Amino acid sequence: QKRMYTFQNLDSTSTAYNMPGIFEIEGDVNRNQLENTFRQLIQRHEGLRTYFETIDGEIVQKIKLSYQFYLNRKVDQENDMTDIVKNFVRPFELDKGPLFRAELLENKKKKYLLIDMHHIISDGVSMSVLINELNKLYSGEFLEPLRIQYKDFAHWQNNLLKSGGLDKQEAFWKKQFEGNIPVLHLPYDYERPSKK
């Protein structure tokens, strides 16, 4: 998270760390029920209420107790999905949050759910968990409360790093990569950019 926060702040207009998803909806959808389902997910997962601050030079994860979520609804019969997605996916402000947005779209007689999250609060597995839980909650299923949130893992990992628990592994990898390391030339689809 600290690395992503730093890179995002180097170019605050970048969407390189956005994780958008588009889901076609079959059948009718109750917008109010879907909005309420998202509110339940936001309350369930601290990551969806997370933002970041820099305090005394340290990047700190903060979690809002709650925030008011509104599911935007958009009707767009003219533009194709590429244009719609380009307008939907936009930079997040990591120091404000939320770092997550959703929109219900009606386009050419089809309905879609658009979701976008910043990678600082999510990954591919998290997205599939979110969609699975969204389906269950929307269908009226009860979900057991979560025992562990991401901040618990981050706390455990930081304590491990501070305790020296990874010193042996660090020494091994430093030895593996001492000296000159050759550049690995793999075939790319595109030329390597001058700015990595």
Q: What is the pLDDT of residue 134?
A: 96
Q: Is 36 helix (H, G, I), strand (E, B) or coil?
A: helix
CA dist 43 and 162 (Å) reads 31
Tens-digit pLDDT profile for residues 121-131: 998 888 899 99
Q: What is the pLDDT of residue 196?
A: 66
Residue ranges in the chain whose pLDDT is less than 70: 196
Token pair listed for 107? 């386009």
Tens-digit pLDDT profile for residues 62-91: 999 988 899 999 888 777 888 888 899 999
Are the C-beta atoms of 105 and 84 separated by less than 8 Å?
yes
Q: What is the pLDDT of residue 20?
A: 94
Instruction: Cite the DSSP H helix spans in the chain.
Output: 2-10, 31-44, 81-88, 124-138, 150-163, 167-176
CA dist 157 and 129 (Å) reads 22
